[in-house]
Amino acid sequence: MEGNEMSLAYESRVFDRRSGLNGGRMACTLVTGFLGSGKTTLMKHILENRGDLRIAVLVNEFADSDVDSLLLNSASLNAAFNLSTVSLTHGCDCCNVGGPFRESLLQVVNSKHNFDCLLIETSGLAKPDIFVAELEEVGIHLDLTIAVVDAESLDKILSMDIVKQQLQHVDLVLLNKCDLATLGQISDAENALESLTGGAKVVRSQFCKVPLDLVIDFSKADSQLAVQDAVTLPFLSHEALPQMTFRENVLGKTSVGVSASSVSDEELILSGTNWRSSDSENASSHERNFSSVSFDSEDPLLMSLFQSSVLATMRNTNNLLRAKGILWFEEDRESRFVFQWSGIKRVEAICGGMWENAPKSCLVLIGTDKSELENIVMQLSQSTISKVRTISCIPGSRESAKSFCARVLLDGRFKEPVFDKEPLVIFGLKGSPLHGIKESQLNGPLMHLVNGKGRVFLSAVVSGQEYNLQLLLDNGCNPDEAWNEIRMAASAVIFKVCKNFCPCRSDLSAHVH
Ligand SMILES: Nc1nc2c(ncn2[C@@H]2O[C@H](COP(=O)(O)OP(=O)(O)OP(=O)(O)O)[C@@H](O)[C@H]2O)c(=O)[nH]1
């Protein structure tokens, strides 16, 4: 269903629903996918482009602590949507989605907000069938099950049972992060997905930017009405779903205590449901023992130590699958950085604004070796300012910064560097308004590429269309080596992004000549 047809189906469904007519029912989409594939990115995309759709969102988290609501910035996001934030906590969703999840579902169903659509984001280690069973229990009709897949790293995780299970019964796969993958990786992934999903539709995406009618299906209400008399079983999204069973019976054990905040009808909904335990105790529910460890600190971190010891340790840790959180750095105390580690050791630290609340660092690490994760947390706590005696600007850093800036200045592809946040140099590639290439399209990949090599750490500062990079130049950083690394990575990024444009006599000429 596309275009006009889709908007007609949507209009009539929303109208019927809001006017209380028969048949107008809430659409429901379940989003699954492995850790870091882009599920939250998809949620944000839908919410930011939802128009006047009333959307309820339930987010289920694997990790300890409230990192996900911090990352989603749910309080301010909800304020923008005129919704209050609800925080729920419950046990490992693989073993126990029951109580709080069902309560949340019932609140959505009974809400006077009369939602047009319910979106459920499962944790990156969850099996979607459990959620399907719960939806069925409360009479919510699931229209669409979507798996978000990281095109670049799929081949590395395909052997995991959890990944296969997540892909088994989906209607649609978003083959995401296509900007990071090669064409070979994309086509290999498509072939693998064809057999793993039994032929589900696969759509390539970057940052999950897909039309909303692809991920919210308003077409099923009518077909549901047509078969309503004949079929008494709850409607499910996929033919293969009858094979699904509620796993609580199979696994028997619930791993952790459950506590749910009570929520009034008015208070809906962007909720983080957080797993409170740090280990998946039920080995039969996961083929590996996944662990989650978190780090919280109200002391700022020294960026130089974060770079030289924490990131170095993370890179040498083979069993780290995911890290995310917010960071507070001594060298840039005003800025709130969102840190993400996902896929093939892709590292980003992006500042999108200042602190609205008391600054702090809060990071969650998920992996398969708890002691390795704890080692990273130890490095983190040793990098906080209270653990380090002298933090004044290290002698020599100013000279290094000047020398680095001089090199950047000579390269016409870059904007003029700025050194007013000593010891941080701020710089970045120029975008190309003429070709519609935004600074973020060049500087985002540049950060990933440089950080991925592991010798230099770049963070990003984003403000509107401006996307700048920050480099810390202390004694441990050789400006020539850093510049060489960045310059070469810039060439690779520009080649990939600009190869389809003719640069002659355009604002790209400096980039390619
Ligand atoms: N380059 C690139 N990065 C992406 C894309 N989509 C998402 N990301 C980044 O990948 C990281 C993880 O994305 P999330 O949306 O948080 O992934 P998730 O599946 O919700 O992660 P978990 O809930 O922890 O399992 C973030 O840093 C995103 O900005 C994409 O298409 N391209």
**Average pLDDT score over residue span 445-454:** 90
Rounded CA-CA distance 108/127 in Å is 22
User: Residues enclosing ligand 1, CB less than 6 A?
Assistant: 33, 35-41, 124, 176-177, 179-180, 206-208, 322, 324, 340, 342, 348
- Beta-carbon count within 10 A of 1 CB: 14
Rounded CA-CA distance 245/165 in Å is 13
List residues bridging with 247 in a β-sheet: none
CA of 498 to the centre of ligand 1 (A): 23
Rounded CA-CA distance 220/235 in Å is 10
Tell which atom from ligand 1 comes closest to the C-alpha of 41.
15
Q: Which of 57, 206, 342 to mutate to test the pocket of ligand 1 (most atoms within 8 A of CB)?
A: 342
Q: What is the pLDDT of residues 220-270, one digit of tens each?
A: 544 444 434 333 222 222 222 222 222 222 222 222 222 222 223 332 333
CA of 224 to the centre of ligand 1 (A): 34
- Check residue 51 and give its pLDDT: 83
Instruction: Tell me which residue of 294, 306, 357, 354 sits closest to 330, measured CA to CA.
Output: 306
Could you tell me whether strands 144-150 and 27-32 are parallel, antiparallel, or unpaired per DSSP bridges?
A: parallel
CA of 483 to the centre of ligand 1 (A): 28
- Pairwise pLDDT comparison (416 vs 79), residue with the higher score: 416
pLDDT at 157 over 80: yes
- Check residue 104 and give its pLDDT: 79
CA of 265 to the centre of ligand 1 (A): 31
State the residue for tokens 């892709």: 346
CA of 66 to the centre of ligand 1 (A): 18
Tell which atom from ligand 1 comes closest to the C-alpha of 340.
27
Q: Which of 34, 40, 71, 321 to mutate to test the pocket of ligand 1 (most atoms within 8 A of CB)?
A: 40
Instruction: Tell me which residue of 307, 342, 322 sits closest to 459, measured CA to CA.
Output: 307
Contact 315, 345 (CB under 8 A): yes
Q: What is the DSSP-derived secondary structure letter of residue 2?
A: -
- Beta-carbon count within 10 A of 187 CB: 12
- Check residue 16 and give its pLDDT: 64
Tell which atom from ligand 1 comes closest to the C-alpha of 448.
1
- Pairwise pLDDT comparison (115 vs 426), residue with the higher score: 426
State the residue for tokens 């170095």: 312
- Check residue 396 and give its pLDDT: 59
Could you tell me whether strands 320-327 and 361-367 are parallel, antiparallel, or unpaired per DSSP bridges?
A: antiparallel
Tell which atom from ligand 1 comes closest to the C-alpha of 68.
23
454: left (phi over 0), alpha (psi -120 to 50) or beta: left
State the residue for tokens 């009570």: 262
Lowest mean pLDDT among 112-116, 214-218, 390-394, 396-400: 390-394
Rounded CA-CA distance 128/123 in Å is 9
Contact 361, 297 (CB under 8 A): yes
Instruction: Tell me which residue of 322, 304, 447 sits closest to 373, measured CA to CA.
Output: 322
Contact 290, 125 (CB under 8 A): yes
Q: What is the pLDDT of residues 124-144, one digit of tens each?
A: 887 888 888 888 888 888 999
Predicted complex ipTM exceeds 0.95? yes
Q: Of all protein residues, whose CA lies closest to atom 7 belonging to ligand 1?
A: 38
Q: Which of 31, 41, 121, 363 to mutate to test the pocket of ligand 1 (most atoms within 8 A of CB)?
A: 41
- Pairwise pLDDT comparison (74 vs 354), residue with the higher score: 354
Mean of all residue pLDDT scores within the chain: 76
3-state secondary structure at position 290: coil
Residue type, 118: L
Instruction: Tell me which residue of 383, 388, 420, 387 sits closest to 401, measured CA to CA.
Output: 420
**Average pLDDT score over residue span 41-47:** 89
Could you tell me whether strands 55-61 and 117-121 are parallel, antiparallel, or unpaired per DSSP bridges?
A: parallel
Look up the pTM and report it. 0.79
- High-pLDDT (> 90) share of the chain, %: 39
CA of 216 to the centre of ligand 1 (A): 20
Structure tokens at 439: 């600074």
Tell which atom from ligand 1 comes closest to the C-alpha of 148.
19
List residues bridging with 296 in a β-sheet: 362
Three-state SS for 199-266 is: CCEEEECCCCCCCHHHHCCCCHHHHHHHHHCCCCCCCCCCCCHHHCCCCHHHHCCCCCCCEECCCCCC
pLDDT at 78 over 70: no
pLDDT at 409 over 80: yes
Could you tell me whether strands 201-204 and 172-176 are parallel, antiparallel, or unpaired per DSSP bridges?
A: parallel
Structure tokens at 447: 């950060």
- Beta-carbon count within 10 A of 75 CB: 16
Q: Of all protein residues, whose CA lies closest to atom 25 belonging to ligand 1?
A: 35
Q: Of all protein residues, whose CA lies closest to atom 3 belonging to ligand 1?
A: 177
Q: Of all protein residues, whose CA lies closest to atom 11 belonging to ligand 1?
A: 36
Chain-centroid distance of CA 161 in Å reads 22
Tell which atom from ligand 1 comes closest to the C-alpha of 176.
31
Tell which atom from ligand 1 comes closest to the C-alpha of 124.
25
**Average pLDDT score over residue span 90-104:** 60
Could you tell me whether strands 466-472 and 424-427 are parallel, antiparallel, or unpaired per DSSP bridges?
A: antiparallel
pLDDT at 339 over 90: yes
CA of 13 to the centre of ligand 1 (A): 32
- Check residue 113 and give its pLDDT: 75
